[in-house]
Structure 1
Amino acid sequence: MHRIAIFPGTFDPFTIGHRSLVDRGLGLVDEIIVAIGTNENKRTYFPLEKRLEFIRTLYRNEPRVRVAAYDTLTVDFAHTVGARFILRGIRTVNDFEYEKNIADVNRKLAGIETFILFTEPEHTHISSSIVRELLHFGKDISDFIPPEIRDMAQT
Protein backbone atom coordinates (compact mmCIF):
# COMPACT_ATOMS: atom_id res chain seq x y z
CA MET A 1 0.00 0.00 0.00
CA HIS A 2 1.28 3.44 -0.95
CA ARG A 3 2.09 5.37 2.25
CA ILE A 4 1.29 9.07 1.88
CA ALA A 5 1.87 11.68 4.58
CA ILE A 6 0.94 15.31 4.59
CA PHE A 7 3.20 17.89 6.18
CA PRO A 8 0.83 20.73 7.04
CA GLY A 9 1.81 24.27 7.86
CA THR A 10 1.78 27.86 6.77
CA PHE A 11 5.43 27.73 5.63
CA ASP A 12 5.81 31.49 5.63
CA PRO A 13 8.61 30.98 4.65
CA PHE A 14 9.78 27.38 4.24
CA THR A 15 12.95 27.04 6.33
CA ILE A 16 15.92 24.68 6.44
CA GLY A 17 14.21 23.10 9.44
CA HIS A 18 11.14 22.31 7.34
CA ARG A 19 13.37 20.91 4.60
CA SER A 20 15.12 18.64 7.08
CA LEU A 21 11.80 17.23 8.26
CA VAL A 22 10.56 16.53 4.73
CA ASP A 23 13.85 14.95 3.69
CA ARG A 24 13.95 12.74 6.77
CA GLY A 25 10.25 11.91 6.46
CA LEU A 26 10.83 10.52 2.97
CA GLY A 27 12.68 7.67 4.66
CA LEU A 28 9.45 6.67 6.40
CA VAL A 29 6.78 7.06 3.71
CA ASP A 30 6.48 6.76 -0.05
CA GLU A 31 5.25 10.30 -0.65
CA ILE A 32 4.93 13.57 1.26
CA ILE A 33 2.52 16.31 0.37
CA VAL A 34 3.66 19.64 1.75
CA ALA A 35 0.25 21.08 2.53
CA ILE A 36 0.01 24.83 2.89
CA GLY A 37 -2.97 25.64 5.03
CA THR A 38 -4.76 28.86 4.24
CA ASN A 39 -6.42 30.90 6.93
CA GLU A 40 -8.00 34.20 6.00
CA ASN A 41 -7.57 35.41 9.58
CA LYS A 42 -3.81 34.87 9.57
CA ARG A 43 -1.63 37.58 8.06
CA THR A 44 1.29 36.19 6.08
CA TYR A 45 4.47 37.78 4.79
CA PHE A 46 4.53 35.93 1.47
CA PRO A 47 1.39 35.37 -0.62
CA LEU A 48 0.22 31.79 -1.01
CA GLU A 49 1.34 31.62 -4.66
CA LYS A 50 4.89 32.59 -3.69
CA ARG A 51 5.05 29.98 -0.90
CA LEU A 52 3.82 27.30 -3.31
CA GLU A 53 6.47 28.41 -5.81
CA PHE A 54 9.26 28.30 -3.20
CA ILE A 55 8.53 24.72 -2.19
CA ARG A 56 7.84 23.47 -5.72
CA THR A 57 11.16 24.96 -6.83
CA LEU A 58 12.95 23.31 -3.95
CA TYR A 59 11.53 19.85 -4.70
CA ARG A 60 11.28 20.09 -8.49
CA ASN A 61 13.56 17.05 -8.87
CA GLU A 62 11.97 14.95 -6.13
CA PRO A 63 8.89 13.16 -7.50
CA ARG A 64 7.93 11.87 -4.06
CA VAL A 65 7.17 15.40 -2.82
CA ARG A 66 4.06 17.27 -3.92
CA VAL A 67 2.92 20.71 -2.83
CA ALA A 68 -0.70 21.77 -2.40
CA ALA A 69 -2.80 24.37 -0.65
CA TYR A 70 -5.93 23.68 1.35
CA ASP A 71 -8.54 25.59 3.30
CA THR A 72 -10.31 22.79 5.18
CA LEU A 73 -9.58 20.82 8.31
CA THR A 74 -6.23 19.10 7.94
CA VAL A 75 -7.78 15.64 8.38
CA ASP A 76 -10.32 16.37 5.65
CA PHE A 77 -7.53 17.40 3.30
CA ALA A 78 -5.61 14.24 4.23
CA HIS A 79 -8.59 12.09 3.24
CA THR A 80 -8.99 14.01 -0.02
CA VAL A 81 -5.42 13.19 -1.08
CA GLY A 82 -5.38 9.65 0.33
CA ALA A 83 -2.92 10.37 3.14
CA ARG A 84 -2.98 8.12 6.20
CA PHE A 85 -0.29 10.03 8.08
CA ILE A 86 0.54 13.53 9.21
CA LEU A 87 4.19 14.52 9.58
CA ARG A 88 5.02 17.08 12.26
CA GLY A 89 8.21 18.36 13.78
CA ILE A 90 8.88 19.55 17.27
CA ARG A 91 11.64 21.84 18.46
CA THR A 92 10.87 22.15 22.17
CA VAL A 93 8.91 20.62 25.02
CA ASN A 94 6.27 23.31 24.49
CA ASP A 95 5.75 22.11 20.92
CA PHE A 96 5.24 18.56 22.20
CA GLU A 97 2.16 19.34 24.29
CA TYR A 98 0.47 21.19 21.45
CA GLU A 99 1.30 18.54 18.83
CA LYS A 100 0.18 15.68 21.09
CA ASN A 101 -3.24 17.26 21.63
CA ILE A 102 -3.73 17.88 17.90
CA ALA A 103 -2.57 14.33 17.08
CA ASP A 104 -5.05 12.87 19.57
CA VAL A 105 -7.93 14.85 18.06
CA ASN A 106 -6.93 13.93 14.50
CA ARG A 107 -6.76 10.24 15.41
CA LYS A 108 -10.16 10.40 17.13
CA LEU A 109 -11.83 12.36 14.30
CA ALA A 110 -10.41 10.57 11.30
CA GLY A 111 -8.13 7.69 12.27
CA ILE A 112 -5.14 9.62 10.90
CA GLU A 113 -1.86 8.84 12.62
CA THR A 114 0.68 11.56 13.31
CA PHE A 115 4.37 10.87 13.40
CA ILE A 116 6.67 13.40 14.95
CA LEU A 117 10.30 13.98 14.12
CA PHE A 118 12.47 15.94 16.47
CA THR A 119 14.14 18.93 14.90
CA GLU A 120 17.86 18.50 14.46
CA PRO A 121 19.74 20.39 17.20
CA GLU A 122 21.30 22.87 14.76
CA HIS A 123 17.80 23.92 13.63
CA THR A 124 15.94 24.26 16.93
CA HIS A 125 16.33 28.04 17.01
CA ILE A 126 14.85 28.50 13.53
CA SER A 127 11.19 29.33 13.07
CA SER A 128 9.23 30.96 10.29
CA SER A 129 8.20 33.67 12.75
CA ILE A 130 11.81 34.61 13.41
CA VAL A 131 12.63 34.57 9.70
CA ARG A 132 9.65 36.85 8.95
CA GLU A 133 10.82 39.25 11.64
CA LEU A 134 14.30 39.34 10.11
CA LEU A 135 12.80 39.97 6.67
CA HIS A 136 10.63 42.76 8.03
CA PHE A 137 13.72 44.55 9.30
CA GLY A 138 15.75 43.92 6.14
CA LYS A 139 18.15 41.40 7.66
CA ASP A 140 19.89 38.58 5.79
CA ILE A 141 17.97 35.30 6.10
CA SER A 142 20.32 33.15 4.01
CA ASP A 143 21.35 30.99 6.99
CA PHE A 144 17.73 30.02 7.65
CA ILE A 145 16.20 29.06 4.32
CA PRO A 146 17.28 26.54 1.67
CA PRO A 147 19.82 27.95 -0.79
CA GLU A 148 17.63 27.01 -3.78
CA ILE A 149 15.03 29.61 -2.75
CA ARG A 150 17.20 32.30 -1.13
CA ASP A 151 17.13 34.72 -4.02
CA MET A 152 13.39 34.29 -4.42
CA ALA A 153 12.75 34.99 -0.73
CA GLN A 154 15.13 37.94 -0.35
CA THR A 155 13.36 40.03 -2.99
Structure 2
Amino acid sequence: MTEFGVLGDRTDWQKDFERRLRASYAAAGLGVPAAERMLEGVRESIGGWTVAEITDTGTRVGHVAVVVSDDNGALAGRIGDLHVDAPHAARGHEQAARVWAEGWCAERGAGRIDIRLTELAGELFDGYGVRGQIRARRVASPPEPSATSPPGR
Protein backbone atom coordinates (compact mmCIF):
# COMPACT_ATOMS: atom_id res chain seq x y z
CA MET A 1 0.00 0.00 0.00
CA THR A 2 1.38 3.40 -1.00
CA GLU A 3 1.65 5.89 1.85
CA PHE A 4 2.96 9.45 2.18
CA GLY A 5 4.82 11.19 4.97
CA VAL A 6 5.91 14.83 4.87
CA LEU A 7 9.65 15.14 5.47
CA GLY A 8 11.08 17.37 8.17
CA ASP A 9 14.69 16.98 6.98
CA ARG A 10 14.81 17.32 3.21
CA THR A 11 18.61 17.11 2.85
CA ASP A 12 18.74 13.64 1.24
CA TRP A 13 15.83 14.43 -1.07
CA GLN A 14 17.42 17.72 -2.19
CA LYS A 15 20.77 16.05 -2.96
CA ASP A 16 19.00 13.40 -5.04
CA PHE A 17 16.75 15.98 -6.72
CA GLU A 18 19.74 18.13 -7.70
CA ARG A 19 21.61 15.04 -8.97
CA ARG A 20 18.64 14.14 -11.17
CA LEU A 21 18.33 17.74 -12.42
CA ARG A 22 22.04 17.85 -13.31
CA ALA A 23 21.68 14.58 -15.22
CA SER A 24 18.68 15.89 -17.17
CA TYR A 25 20.47 19.16 -17.96
CA ALA A 26 23.54 17.25 -19.16
CA ALA A 27 21.35 14.96 -21.29
CA ALA A 28 19.84 18.09 -22.88
CA GLY A 29 23.33 19.31 -23.76
CA LEU A 30 23.75 22.06 -21.17
CA GLY A 31 27.29 22.69 -20.03
CA VAL A 32 28.25 22.70 -16.37
CA PRO A 33 28.12 26.52 -15.93
CA ALA A 34 24.64 26.75 -17.48
CA ALA A 35 23.38 23.79 -15.44
CA GLU A 36 24.68 25.33 -12.22
CA ARG A 37 22.94 28.65 -13.04
CA MET A 38 19.69 26.81 -13.57
CA LEU A 39 20.17 24.88 -10.33
CA GLU A 40 20.68 28.14 -8.43
CA GLY A 41 17.25 29.29 -9.62
CA VAL A 42 15.70 26.00 -8.55
CA ARG A 43 17.37 26.19 -5.11
CA GLU A 44 15.83 29.64 -4.60
CA SER A 45 12.33 28.34 -5.33
CA ILE A 46 12.23 25.00 -3.46
CA GLY A 47 12.39 26.45 0.05
CA GLY A 48 8.60 26.63 0.24
CA TRP A 49 7.97 23.21 -1.25
CA THR A 50 6.43 20.44 0.83
CA VAL A 51 8.24 17.17 0.19
CA ALA A 52 6.66 13.83 1.02
CA GLU A 53 8.34 10.49 1.12
CA ILE A 54 6.48 7.78 -0.79
CA THR A 55 6.56 4.45 1.03
CA ASP A 56 5.25 0.96 0.39
CA THR A 57 4.88 -1.27 3.48
CA GLY A 58 7.52 0.82 5.28
CA THR A 59 10.05 0.93 2.43
CA ARG A 60 10.86 4.29 0.84
CA VAL A 61 10.14 4.08 -2.88
CA GLY A 62 10.37 7.76 -3.89
CA HIS A 63 9.38 11.36 -3.25
CA VAL A 64 6.80 13.92 -4.35
CA ALA A 65 7.21 17.69 -3.89
CA VAL A 66 4.38 20.23 -4.05
CA VAL A 67 3.69 23.90 -3.41
CA VAL A 68 0.72 26.24 -3.66
CA SER A 69 1.35 29.89 -4.44
CA ASP A 70 -0.34 32.98 -5.80
CA ASP A 71 -0.34 33.23 -9.60
CA ASN A 72 -1.75 36.62 -10.60
CA GLY A 73 -4.42 36.59 -7.90
CA ALA A 74 -5.34 32.90 -8.13
CA LEU A 75 -3.92 30.04 -6.11
CA ALA A 76 -2.08 27.50 -8.23
CA GLY A 77 -0.52 24.24 -7.15
CA ARG A 78 2.67 22.87 -8.59
CA ILE A 79 4.12 19.39 -8.60
CA GLY A 80 7.83 20.12 -8.72
CA ASP A 81 9.09 16.59 -8.28
CA LEU A 82 7.56 13.15 -8.55
CA HIS A 83 10.12 10.40 -8.55
CA VAL A 84 9.77 6.69 -7.88
CA ASP A 85 12.98 4.66 -7.69
CA ALA A 86 13.45 2.28 -10.64
CA PRO A 87 12.95 -1.00 -8.69
CA HIS A 88 9.52 0.25 -7.54
CA ALA A 89 8.35 1.92 -10.77
CA ALA A 90 5.20 0.89 -12.63
CA ARG A 91 3.53 -0.54 -9.52
CA GLY A 92 1.00 2.25 -9.11
CA HIS A 93 3.10 4.49 -6.84
CA GLU A 94 3.33 7.23 -9.47
CA GLN A 95 -0.45 7.36 -9.88
CA ALA A 96 -0.94 7.36 -6.10
CA ALA A 97 1.60 10.20 -5.76
CA ARG A 98 -0.16 12.26 -8.42
CA VAL A 99 -3.52 11.79 -6.67
CA TRP A 100 -1.94 12.68 -3.30
CA ALA A 101 -0.31 15.81 -4.76
CA GLU A 102 -3.53 16.95 -6.44
CA GLY A 103 -5.44 16.47 -3.20
CA TRP A 104 -2.78 18.29 -1.15
CA CYS A 105 -2.95 21.27 -3.52
CA ALA A 106 -6.76 21.29 -3.64
CA GLU A 107 -6.98 21.25 0.17
CA ARG A 108 -4.93 24.46 0.17
CA GLY A 109 -7.25 26.18 -2.31
CA ALA A 110 -5.45 25.62 -5.60
CA GLY A 111 -7.74 26.02 -8.58
CA ARG A 112 -5.12 24.74 -11.01
CA ILE A 113 -2.13 22.43 -10.80
CA ASP A 114 0.99 22.77 -12.92
CA ILE A 115 3.82 20.29 -13.29
CA ARG A 116 7.48 20.80 -14.07
CA LEU A 117 9.22 17.49 -14.19
CA THR A 118 12.52 16.72 -15.85
CA GLU A 119 11.89 12.99 -16.04
CA LEU A 120 9.50 11.45 -18.51
CA ALA A 121 6.19 10.75 -16.81
CA GLY A 122 4.70 8.49 -19.48
CA GLU A 123 0.91 8.68 -19.52
CA LEU A 124 0.71 9.90 -15.91
CA PHE A 125 -0.10 13.50 -16.87
CA ASP A 126 -1.87 12.95 -20.20
CA GLY A 127 -4.92 14.82 -18.89
CA TYR A 128 -2.84 17.95 -18.28
CA GLY A 129 -2.69 20.55 -21.04
CA VAL A 130 0.68 21.75 -22.34
CA ARG A 131 1.26 25.47 -21.73
CA GLY A 132 4.83 25.57 -22.94
CA GLN A 133 7.92 23.52 -23.53
CA ILE A 134 11.62 24.12 -23.20
CA ARG A 135 13.73 21.98 -25.46
CA ALA A 136 17.47 22.00 -25.89
CA ARG A 137 20.07 20.15 -27.88
CA ARG A 138 23.81 20.41 -28.25
CA VAL A 139 25.09 22.09 -31.40
CA ALA A 140 28.56 21.02 -32.54
CA SER A 141 29.30 24.31 -34.30
CA PRO A 142 27.35 27.38 -35.38
CA PRO A 143 25.56 26.97 -38.70
CA GLU A 144 27.06 28.62 -41.73
CA PRO A 145 25.10 31.70 -42.85
CA SER A 146 23.20 31.22 -46.06
CA ALA A 147 23.34 33.67 -48.96
CA THR A 148 19.81 34.83 -48.09
CA SER A 149 20.49 35.36 -44.36
CA PRO A 150 20.59 38.99 -43.25
CA PRO A 151 23.96 40.17 -41.88
CA GLY A 152 24.49 39.40 -38.20
CA ARG A 153 22.43 36.21 -38.20
TM-score, reference length from structure 1: 0.31
TM-score, reference length from structure 2: 0.31
* Richer in strand (by share): 2
Report 1 or 2 for greater relative contact order, CA contacts < 8 Å, sequence distance ≥ 6: 1
Larger Rg: 2
* Richer in helix (by share): 1
